[in-house]
Structure 1
Amino acid sequence: MSEKGSNPYDINGQNFDANAYLQKLLKECNLRQIMDHEAEIVKDTQNLHSDMQTLVYENYNKFISATDTVRKMKTDFKKMEDEMDLLASNMDSITSFSEQISSTLQDTRQRISKLSGIHSLLKRLQFLFKLPTKLKLLMKERNYSQAVQDYMQAQRVLQQYGNMSSFQGIQEDCNIILIELKQKLRDQFKSNHATAKDLAESVDLLLQLGEPADKLCEEFLSCAEHRLGEQLVLLQDLSEQKDIIEFVDLGSSGFLSDLCLVVASYNDMFINKINMDESVCSGDFETTATARLNDFVVENMKRYFTIVQNRVDLEQDVGDTGVLVRALDRFYRRLQAMNTLCRDTDFAASGTDIVINAGRKQSKAHLQSLKMHFSDSLTRVRQALAAPKLISQEGDSSNNLSELLTSLVLTNVEKIKGILQDLLVFIQPDISFSLKTQFREVFCIESIRENLVVGFLNHITATARGFCDGQKGSDPKCPPTLLLLLSKMCLEFQNTSVHYLLTQTDEWFEISTHNALSTTLTAESEIHKNMQDSAQQLLNYYVRMQGLNISQMLRKSVETRDWLHTIEPRTVRAVMKRVVEDIAAVDTTVGVLFEEGSRTNHSSDSSRKTHSVSISRHQFRSNWSSYTPNHLESNIVTNLHKLFSERIEIFSTVEFSKNSILTGIIKISLKTFLECVRLKTFSKYGLQQIQVDAHYLQLYLWRFVADENLVHFLLDEILGSAVHRCLEPVLMEPSVVEIICERG
């Protein structure tokens, strides 16, 4: 303010310098701006002048009005002074007359006061004489409160003058009526139709009439117990007929409201009267009465909780989670209100247990729904796999298998997500019990994450393993392709779905892996391992099944043929063609779901025939010569070399690749072929037929395995065993074998 007042350029300031202001305008503004500024100053000056004139006129009018008012007040005060003098003289006259009247009526006043006392006494006596009749009339009208009030009003007089003969009759009549009145009050007290308000009124009147408070407490709670028991029976009868929300509202408006009224009435009538009237109760009455009330409330609330728990157990329809949560929220809020009335008990803890149990049962119901959905998915997949016509009509079985796998994984993942979203209503911010730490820990961690999500993932692995041989409840008619799909499904869950589901669960239900209960959480790595083991077990079982299916064909083809009387081979046996076709079909199916994998000792297709022929020719010659008598020593050396060579594991664990799976199937098939050959005796032509079959298998099976030397070795073992078991070991020329195989 000081800086603004000392500014010479401030036109409103005290130190304004007109010349300096004008010089500043001439320097900073052009002619147009100076003229506009001049017009603005002229306009402001005119407005200021007009305002000043208006102010002067207003002040002048006020001054004139004030002058008139002062002149008028002088006139009024003069009249008022005359009136006050007249009033003072009148008051003196009144005082004088009043003193004269008081002295004249003094004797009369004393007589009137005495008569008034006599009249009041007569009225009281009249009230006493009419009291029995009035009490009977009030009892007939059921106006017990007024009857007690009238009796209590006359009680002191009767107690003081009851020994007088004139009052003894009244005292006796009142005592008889009083006994009848107490009985009426007790009848009303024990009536089934009496409300809690009627009970409270009856108890209060009996206490006023001097009844023992201890006995009244017991009778009051006994009658209340009977009434509340009827409420609970009605509530239980209607539990299955009412909606869960209607059931909770019925219990709140009926049983809980009556219980609260009973507790409030009990406190007002008995416990709170201790501080007001020590004559009503003894010193230890407060403790005894409070303990008796607590036992009464706890016992009735236990029965109520049992009925509510049974009703909640019936409400396990997975489609009504929102309705159930709203009902539980109303139930829990009412229990919190009960805690404010019954401070010595915590019913909210029992309510939390019911809510937790409801959430646990709801998650179990959803888990059963998930299991049924997964079972239905498997059934649909089996039906699709059992309908090859549908696959052929679609024209692409590969796409069909991929769609089945995608459907099997995604539908179950989406089903889990939908159920989790449905269960999120339990922990909404507006739900009263959702803020309880105990509820969140048990419901979110135990019921949702562990029992529902992890439990369903474990159910998937258990169901998948149930299809494997040797497992309890395994299905012998299970299609082998289903085993492949389940194995790939377990891998898909291991790679992506398990982490996604656990992450979503932890995020939605605010589960922290660093809290106190983190030790109870199932580790993600453990679930991954279960999925991996299940996928491996399914794949191993698939390889075994497919190997045994092909082995069965080979075994029957060997066992049902008379190898001692067979004709000279002219073609490849049909069973060998069937074996190659089946393995090719398996290769196609496996290739849809698994990658090819690595190969070792793999020859190109263009050089395959020459390579195989040269190996076969050398092998045939060595086998032929090694079993002649002149080369017995060489045969022993060869067998010793095989004894210490690397052993081929037939039923070893396969890898998750197409080559490894086909290798396992072919190993089982060729091993079975080898064992069947060892049990037979062959003629020359029988040996040559085995030679043709082995060469045919060698031409086609090499492309399906990871290491083609394994096929060479097993086929060499088969041919060597046939030579061992042959009566006339004469092998066919390799060129003839090639022609037969190419023609076949």
Structure 2
Amino acid sequence: KKMYQGNTEDPCDVDDFNPDMYLDKLLKECSLTELMDREHEMYKQIQALDSEMQTLVYENYNKFISATDTIRKMKKDLKKMEEEMDGLATNMASISQFSGQISGTLQGRREHMARLSGTHTLLKKLQLLFQLPPRLKACMERQAYGQAVKYYTRAEAILHQYHDMPSFHGIHHDCNLIVTQLKERLKEQLNSPGVTPRELAHLVQLLFELQEPTEALCADYLLNAGKSLEADLEVLQQVTLQEDILQFMDLACNRFVRGLCNVTEAYLNLFVNQLPVVESWVVRHKLESFVETLMRRYLAVVAQRLAAEKCCSDNSILVKALDRFCQRLEGVAGGAYVEPALHIAREAVRGRCSHALQALCQFFSQHLTDVRQDVALRKDNLAQLHAGLRSAVLEQVGQVLAGLQAFVQADVSFAQEDCFREPFCLDVRERVVVAFVRHINQSALEFCGQPSGLLLLLLSRLSLDMKTSMVNQMLEMVDEHFPIAITPASTLVEDSGQVAQTLLDDFVRAQGLIISQMLRKSVETRDWLHTLEPRTVRAVMKRVVEDVTVVDMAVGQLYEEGTRKQRSSDSSRRTYPYSASGRAARGGRWASVDHSLLSNIQKLFLEKIDIFTTVDFSRVSVMTGIIKIGLKTYLECIRLKTFSRFGLQQVQVDTHYLQLYLWRFVSDENLVHVLLDEIMGSAIHRCLDPVLMEPSVVEVICERG
């Protein structure tokens, strides 16, 4: 059942089936009805198997009969074939017998015919010898030098064999004269200027067959082949820069390199491959010296042309030219000049890196000039100028790196060599990007000490961005396609941070000196002993506040606010030190002494104010530094002057006006209060009649001003 119905998972189909145990199990576990059903089912299965077996027999009956007939026919045919093979063997034996009889009969005649054939061949050779001089002369007249060499080489052995015989002595002499003349003709053609490399190889082959000395032939062949190749080099040197580098390289590969390969191949076939090992070493050495001399000149010409290729706008053209240059030299001298070619390619690409750096530096200088003009003309606010400069620098670096990626593409064969790829990636990082970062820092530092105004502030913010993000962004762009590094990012970040700090400190000093100049001139040019009673704030104080406000707005566009100390509720109400005002109002000689003593005692409990200190990258820190410089200068100028009562009161009005506005710009308002108190204290100390105005009057004057 399993054979006809497939792999049925029925326990009855297993090989170890025990029918008795199976029946006992059914009788014990099944009811009578179930037993009847099981019997009926098995009866149907038996009938189905019966039917299938009958069908199988009927279907294959004809095949069995046909197979029986075929076997019977094969037995009959084999018997007939055996009879035919026996007849064939008998016939072959008869043929062998007749063949032996014929060979024995013709043995004598065969030897006689062989002797006649040898005699005939000898006569033909002798006839050829007699006809050789006229044939050689005819070939010489027709300039069929190849045919003449063929005739002579075919008869040379026989001529040499019989040259001692008197009848052949004249023939030998005539042939030698003609062959000598033939050699001279061939050498003349060999040295002619218009001979092609193919003709040159043919002439050398003819002379070689005429038994010319090998070394002399090698020298003549290389000498004449070198003339053509040197002419190709002269043509390459005369190619102007109007033709792009790809056209130049096509000309070089298709003319010189191909010609050199053809000359080398012909030389090997003519000399090296046809000589013993000892002799071939000598002629091979001649070839190596010849190739080395020409290749040295060729590489120098290519290197010179590549060095002049500084303005190639499309790097893909240079990549194709260099790839063609390196690939073509793989077939010269077994690839011995691939490494020098890669060295030339490295130098050429290094020139492209230098050109890329130069382009970046020119771009930055031009863009910086435009920004400087915009800052001077105040066309845009500093935030917009800074954002534009930042994005322009990053975009330009990305474009330059995208152009240099052409040299490391997967389909560029020479770019896959480690001796090229690693130095190139290093050049891109160090000689382009790192050098450009340092150029930006150096260019920014050049503005220190110059009247650059807000440009210093803008450059300090750019350098700070270089420190926080731009350096890492540029190096990430490099590492994506040129993964090799020497200078760590931390070094560049630190350098940019130092540049940013230097620029910001210089900006603070420059702006502080501008404020100082105005205050110093206002003090030095005024006659404080004969001044009138103050009615208003001096114009210079208003100008100082205006300039400080403008600078504060500019700094606020680029830097965050920063941290301020908690302000008091009466920051804008103080007018002067109250202890000094009481004593000044009383007047008298002891007042100045008492004030001087009190001022010195107060200084003992005040923190020292550093004027020229490093500022933080924040708005309030920058403004604090500027205001400290200005007020310190104002203080030193006050200490050098002598004041009348009205002069002192004018200083009182001016300092109160400054206090009303300057405290809001600094990180600690007490700093302004301390400096202004020192200014007032110095003015009181230098006053001949130290009487101060009432605070209410001072406030009215300042509010009116």
TM-score interval for Structure 1 and Structure 2 normalised by the shorter chain: 0.7 to 0.9
1:641-675: per-residue Cα shift (whole Å, max 9, x none)? 58877654332222222122111111222233334
Q: Is the 8 A contact 1:486 1:535 kept in 2?
A: yes
Q: Is the 8 A contact 1:7 1:16 kept in 2?
A: no
Q: How does 1:332-343 map to 2 (within 5 A)?
A: 332-338=326-332, 340=334
- Residue 665 (structure 1) aligned to one of 626, 632, 637: 626
Pair 1:95–1:535, CA change in 2 (3 A): closer
**Greater displacement, 82-91 / 649-658:** 82-91
Give the aligned partner of residue 608 of structure 1: 571
Q: Is the 8 A contact 1:594 1:658 kept in 2?
A: yes
Q: Could you say what secondary structure the match of 1:272 adopts?
A: helix
**Greater displacement, 691-700 / 110-119:** 110-119
Q: In structure 1, how many angstroms separate the alpha carbons of the residues matched to 2:558 and 2:91?
A: 126
Q: How does 1:142-541 map to 2 (within 5 A)?
A: 142-238=143-239, 240-275=241-276, 285-317=279-311, 319-338=313-332, 340=334, 346-388=336-378, 390-391=379-380, 400-445=381-426, 447-469=427-449, 475-476=450-451, 478=452, 480-511=453-484, 521-541=486-506
Give the aligned partner of residue 3 of structure 2: none
Is 1:546 the counterpart of 2:511? The answer is yes
Q: In structure 2, how many angstroms separate the alpha carbons of the residues matched to 1:34 and 1:578?
A: 125
1:22-70: per-residue Cα shift (whole Å, max 9, x none)? 999x99x9x9999999999988876665454444422422332343354
- Residue 558 (structure 1) aligned to one of 502, 523, 541: 523
Is 1:651 the counterpart of 2:612? The answer is yes
Is 1:65 the counterpart of 2:61? The answer is no
1:429 shift after superposition: 3.4
1:233-281: per-residue Cα shift (whole Å, max 9, x none)? 22233363443333333322322222222223333333333327xxxxx
Q: In structure 2, how many angstroms separate the alpha carbons of the residues matched to 1:312 and 1:697?
A: 67
1:524 shift after superposition: 2.5
Q: Could you say what secondary structure the match of 2:622 adopts?
A: helix
Q: In structure 2, how many angstroms separate the alpha carbons of the residues matched to 1:353 and 1:703?
A: 65
1:104-149: per-residue Cα shift (whole Å, max 9, x none)? xx57x77655544443222112211221232234445554344323
Q: In structure 1, how many angstroms separate the alpha carbons of the residues matched to 2:213 and 2:409?
A: 52
Q: In structure 2, how many angstroms separate the alpha carbons of the residues matched to 1:366 and 1:38?
A: 97
1:67 aligned partner, one-letter code:
R
Q: In structure 2, how many angstroms separate the alpha carbons of the residues matched to 1:540 and 1:97?
A: 126
1:452 shift after superposition: 1.3
1:480-510: per-residue Cα shift (whole Å, max 9, x none)? 2221121111111111222333344334323
2:244 aligned partner, one-letter code:
D
Q: Could you say what secondary structure the match of 2:332 adopts?
A: helix
- Residue 570 (structure 1) aligned to one of 535, 539, 543: 535
2:621 aligned partner, one-letter code:
S
Q: Could you say what secondary structure the match of 2:483 adopts?
A: coil
1:16 shift after superposition: 6.6
Q: Is the 8 A contact 2:596 2:685 kept in 1?
A: no
Q: Is the 8 A contact 1:138 1:144 kept in 2?
A: yes
**Greater displacement, 669-678 / 365-374:** 669-678
Pair 1:372–1:42, CA change in 2 (3 A): farther
Q: In structure 2, how many angstroms separate the alpha carbons of the residues matched to 1:76 and 1:523?
A: 95
2:284 aligned partner, one-letter code:
T
Give the aligned partner of residue 654 of structure 2: 693
Q: Is the 8 A contact 2:571 2:669 kept in 1?
A: no
2:63 aligned partner, one-letter code:
E
1:652 aligned partner, one-letter code:
T
Q: In structure 1, how many angstroms separate the alpha carbons of the residues matched to 2:100 and 2:417?
A: 82
Q: In structure 2, how many angstroms separate the alpha carbons of the residues matched to 1:463 and 1:111?
A: 109
Q: Is the 8 A contact 2:595 2:685 kept in 1?
A: no
1:484 aligned partner, one-letter code:
L
Q: Could you say what secondary structure the match of 1:526 adopts?
A: helix
- Residue 586 (structure 1) aligned to one of 523, 529, 551: 551
Q: Is the 8 A contact 1:8 1:20 kept in 2?
A: no
Q: Is the 8 A contact 2:584 2:690 kept in 1?
A: no
Pair 1:9–1:667, CA change in 2 (3 A): closer
Q: In structure 1, how many angstroms separate the alpha carbons of the residues matched to 2:190 and 2:589?
A: 121
Give the aligned partner of residue 516 of structure 1: none
1:156 aligned partner, one-letter code:
A
Q: Is the 8 A contact 1:239 1:311 kept in 2?
A: no
Q: In structure 2, how many angstroms separate the alpha carbons of the residues matched to 1:326 and 1:19?
A: 90
Q: Is the 8 A contact 1:188 1:198 kept in 2?
A: no
Q: In structure 2, how many angstroms separate the alpha carbons of the residues matched to 1:183 and 1:559?
A: 109
**Greater displacement, 573-582 / 159-168:** 159-168
1:457 shift after superposition: 0.9
Q: Could you say what secondary structure the match of 1:566 adopts?
A: coil
Q: Could you say what secondary structure the match of 2:275 adopts?
A: helix
Pair 1:49–1:565, CA change in 2 (3 A): farther
Q: In structure 1, how many angstroms separate the alpha carbons of the residues matched to 2:408 and 2:307?
A: 20
Q: In structure 2, how many angstroms separate the alpha carbons of the residues matched to 1:304 and 1:531?
A: 46
Alignment size in residue pairs: 692
Q: Could you say what secondary structure the match of 1:732 adopts?
A: coil
- Residue 637 (structure 1) aligned to one of 588, 593, 597: 597
1:204 aligned partner, one-letter code:
Q
2:541 aligned partner, one-letter code:
M
Q: In structure 2, how many angstroms separate the alpha carbons of the residues matched to 1:47 and 1:236?
A: 96
Q: CA RMSD in A?
A: 3.8
1:416 aligned partner, one-letter code:
V
1:330 shift after superposition: 2.5
1:81 shift after superposition: 6.1
- Structure 2: gaps of 5 or more residues: 1-5
1:535 shift after superposition: 0.7
Q: In structure 2, how many angstroms separate the alpha carbons of the residues matched to 1:554 and 1:41?
A: 129
Q: Is the 8 A contact 1:339 1:348 kept in 2?
A: no
Q: Is the 8 A contact 2:360 2:396 kept in 1?
A: yes
